[in-house]
Chains A and B, each alone.
Chain A
Amino acid sequence: MKKVYLDNASTTPLLPEVREAMLPFLGEDFGNPSCLHDWGDTAREAMENARTEVAQLIGADAEEIIFTASGTESNNFAVKGLALAQQNEGKHVVVSAIEHFSVLHSAKTLEKWGFELSLVPVDRYGVIDPEDVRRSIRKDTVLVSIMHANNEVGTIEPIKEIAKVAKERGVVFHTDAVATAGTIPVDVRELGIDALSLAGNQFYGPKGVGALWVRKGVRILPFLDGGVQEGGRRAGTENIPAIVGLGKAAELARMHMKTRIEHLSRLRNRLLTELPNKIDHVVVTGHPQNRLPGHASFCVEFIEGEAMLMLLNSQGVAVTSGSACTSRALKASHVLIAMGLPHALAQGSLLFSFGLDNTSEDIDYVLEVLPPIVDRLRQMSPLYAKFTKTSKGGQ
């Protein structure tokens, strides 16, 4: 059976060059970078090279990069660490309603710790208005955290404008760039931000490694106490193979970004245009143009996402959905609900995220197998039966 992986938003595969770069550090180069001997030197040198690569990817200085174990850790570290370091100045934080749970739930934890939280709304495309951020900022606001692009609907946010608003009010600004760093150009100085999270498995690096960039001079509470690793802000022996992989992935992303974006955008544009032509009552979610290059998301009316996922999987196609049934929490995607989509429509969410290995034939295949799946589930759906009855009655 044909196998088509279209879930690169969940994780990209590891590039062979990245794996090759990692292998010595899973073998003979096993040293601890804190140690003062040849083994330690080899590990330390590899780690610092990786730090430089990651810094170059986002236009930062190497010494401002802290390695973490994931994008989620970076977000936890940033939201809690930046807020707690400033709690004597104020106890109010601002995040958007469509943040990843690693930001949203960290902010809710701050609430339990005595902070106040404001959620900035989004429009129907998932776009945040910088003026709404301005209105949310108070005298005691110490942190604004808004994602660079949304992982579920692909919308890219006007981060530069939002960061400017925060800066005008003297508030520290963090962005969750897990969906963008390594995928589209990100330059921390140009964006005018104070902190940024990224993750290796979003751009063909390994899982279990991420980074947090914190601008020099910005205070942050250490995430893990212990030794002096990562400048004493994130103790624990570093995961050298993964860090080396992240560095290699960053290098490759920087070198090939333009061609990657062209390839992914072509595939995305084709699916965004052709799927709604093949299937009635499908809506594109997220911003129609200003979105991640490999990201095509939809809601299919009258049916539910998990059932679609299972039938697609039975045809070898891997995608994801924001329906309640696919989430462990059994709640429809908070992103789609914040964008004002009705619950029934949000249940039919489908997300296709392309990667470097995908081809136009993969889209041909999706366009061939998906319409009969939708048809089959609609024939079963009481919502579709009601719809066809009323639309007939209306004629």
Chain B
Amino acid sequence: MPVYSEKVMEHFMNPRNVGEIENPDGVGEVGNPVCGDMMTFYIKVKDNRLEDVKFRTFGCGAAIAVSSMVSEMAKGKTLEEALKITPRSVADELEGLPKQKFHCSNLGAQALRKAIEDYLSKKKKGGKK
């Protein structure tokens, strides 16, 4: 078993915001099963704020904890604030990640960014909101 921080274990054992949002405003998908981890983030945006964030993750303990943490960090934030979430800040909030897991499993911030970009590009095209 890799040496995970208590915070990682806590988020892995009790992940927050698991699931899918019906009619999401944005969806972001990253990773592939060859490297081991896949994450899909769903967001609901209201008045430029992330009203709801949900995710689904295929991957190891770290990948699940990262997803949970990102969803918690992002919820309620403005889009600008949420875009400032980085792999480093996620790892810090989780009280560290094992070195070999930092790159492969730490895709949450990227998936969230993709979901926000998805929302912004839909909005640009004259979609809803």
Contact residues of A with B, CB < 8 Å? 302-304, 306-307, 309-310, 313-314, 323-326, 328, 330, 332, 342-344, 347, 379-383, 385
Contacts and interface: CB of A to CB of B under 8 A. Distances in A.
B49 interface: no
A380 B36 contact: no
A347 B37 CA distance: 9
Given A307-B60, A382-B57, 16 more contacts: A302-B58, A303-B58, A304-B59, A304-B63, A306-B60, A310-B1, A325-B36, A325-B59, A325-B101, A325-B105, A332-B34, A379-B18, A379-B19, A380-B58, A381-B57, A382-B58
Given A328-B100, A330-B104, A382 B39 contact: yes
A284 B36 CA distance: 20
A352 to B, nearest CB: 17
Contacts of B29: 382
A383 B33 contact: yes
Given A310-B1, A310-B12, A313-B1, A325 B56 contact: no
B15 interface: yes
B106 interface: no
Interface residues of B, number: 30
B40 interface: yes
B36 A347 contact: yes
B93 interface: no
B35 A330 contact: yes
Contacts of A314: 13
A323 B60 contact: yes
B57 A380 contact: yes
A383 B38 contact: yes
Interface of B: 1-2, 12-13, 15, 18-20, 29, 33-40, 56-64, 100-101, 104-105
Contacts of B20: 385
B108 to A, nearest CB: 13
B57 A343 contact: no
Nearest to A302: B58
Contacts of A332: 34, 36
22 contacts: A304-B59, A304-B60, A306-B2, A306-B61, A324-B104, A325-B37, A325-B59, A325-B60, A325-B105, A330-B35, A330-B36, A330-B100, A330-B104, A344-B58, A347-B33, A347-B36, A379-B18, A379-B19, A380-B15, A380-B58, A382-B58, A383-B38
Question: Most chain-B CB neighbours within 10 Å: which of A313, A314, A328, A383?
Answer: A383
A242 B62 CA distance: 38
A315 B64 CA distance: 19
Contacts of B35: 324, 330
A328 B34 CA distance: 15
